Amino acid sequence: MKKRILLLAGGQSGEHEVSLMSARSVLAALPRDQFDVTPVAISKQGRWLPPTDTRQALENGSAESGGDLVLHRVASAEGYDAVFPLLHGPMGEDGTVQGLLTLAGIPFVGSGVLGSAVSMDKVMTKQVLASAGIPQVAWRLAVRREWSSDADDVRARAAELGFPLFVKPANLGSSVGISKVHGPGELDAALDLAFSLDRRVILEAMTASRPRELEVGVLGNDAPIASPVGELRFAAEFYDYETKYTEGRAEVHIPAPIPEDVALRVRELALTAFRALDCAGLARVDFFYLEDSGELVLNEVNTMPGFTQTSMYPKLFGAAGLGYSELVTRLVELALEER
Ligand code: ATP
Ligand code: MG
Ligand code: MG
Ligand code: MG
């Protein structure tokens, strides 16, 4: 019998459009002889669109309005074998939708509430990974209330890290709201921007020099495997939104041209991080590699990485011999696996 799959896409975060692109690819790739897929787009207002409006949204690349409230939809989601919450960022990748699906008793692709929530928040991720002995850059947390009541204290935290530094909303992705701050004069604008998007903001020391950027895929539940390591190269000062989503701005190298022992360590660290964060199904783990010193630091863990045919995660497993359709099929199998 065919498995009935509910594919969720869009959502309320700054990564709405990216999610719809990923979903279009996954929808086209899930084998029709095995799966009966219903796509449901979530509008920017958080309403769940009926399938006809969803097809329109997938074509347009944006779901602006219409739809039902989430609880009506979850109730009618009964009868699906699994849900593929192909949502990036807050209200999707952060444990909220995962909590809803857990309550509804419907298996779903990817990490559960704990792994999703902890991995989404860059500060919580750093705290958990530090206790697992994983190398990371120095960082400080600031919350919105501190920025409005004691801005000097927040500025002092930044000064402790030195410039340049990175200011990031703690719970976002696709580089949305991230600034590289070259000196104190640029700090306030960066913090204003980050706090307009999140209550929690992370200040991060920059790596000692411009790093090489390595990414690795992890696939599995309690016995996860790591993909080959990939490298991103681009001319921009850092891997910003434009560079990520403008055709031709970044080059992907798989496998990354790095020493064997570095690749091995990247894969080991990724698996350690995946377990420490209680991830499941899939994750893409991003690293900085300082070629001169040989230093490797873990940057972040993405529990629902970009998933178009040309996104890094599917490409990494493609290089390992697992095609896109096989990969999404495997993810649904993992969602249905007894744990
Ligand atoms: P994703 O789309 O992968 O989820 P994100 O929005 O979560 O990304 P990060 O990966 O944390 O953002 O940062 C985006 C980019 O900014 C990195 O790929 C890198 O180019 C640059 N960057 C971030 N933090 C640092 C740092 N501490 N030192 C050097 N470069 C950094
Ligand atoms: Mg991220
Ligand atoms: Mg992300
Ligand atoms: Mg990243």
User: pLDDT of 5-38, one tens digit each?
Assistant: 999 999 999 899 999 999 999 999 999 999 999 9
The pLDDT of 299-318, averaged and rounded, is: 96
Give residue 184's region: left, alpha or beta (phi > 0; psi -120 to 50). alpha
Distance CA 125, CA 110 (A): 17
Q: How far is CA 177 from CA 133, 166, 193, 212, 308, in A?
A: 28, 11, 6, 22, 22
Q: How far is the CA of 90 from the centre of ligand 4 (A)?
A: 15
Identify the residue whose C-alpha is closest to ligand 1 atom 31.
206
- Residues serving a catalytic function are 15, 174, 245, 284, 286, 300, 302, 306
What's domain 139-205's superfamily in CATH? ATP-grasp fold, A domain (3.30.1490.20)
Q: What percent of the chain has pLDDT over 90?
A: 90
Model confidence at 297, pLDDT cuts 50, 70, 90, reads very high
Query: 252 vs 79, which has greater pLDDT?
Result: 252
Domain formed by 3-108, architecture? 3-Layer(aba) Sandwich (3.40)
Q: How far is CA 118 from CA 126, 170, 215, 273, 279, in A?
A: 9, 11, 19, 11, 9
The pLDDT of 59-68, averaged and rounded, is: 86
Which residues' Cβ are closer than 6 Å to ligand 1? Answer: 137, 166, 168, 172-175, 178, 204, 206-207, 211, 213, 238-239, 286, 288, 299-300, 302
What token pair was written down for 334? 């993992």
Confidence (pTM): 0.91
- Class of domain 119-134+209-336 as given by CATH: alpha beta
Residues forming CATH 3.30.1490.20 domain(s) in the chain: 139-205
Q: Which ligand is nearest to the CA of 168?
A: 1
Residues forming CATH 3.40.50.20 domain(s) in the chain: 3-108
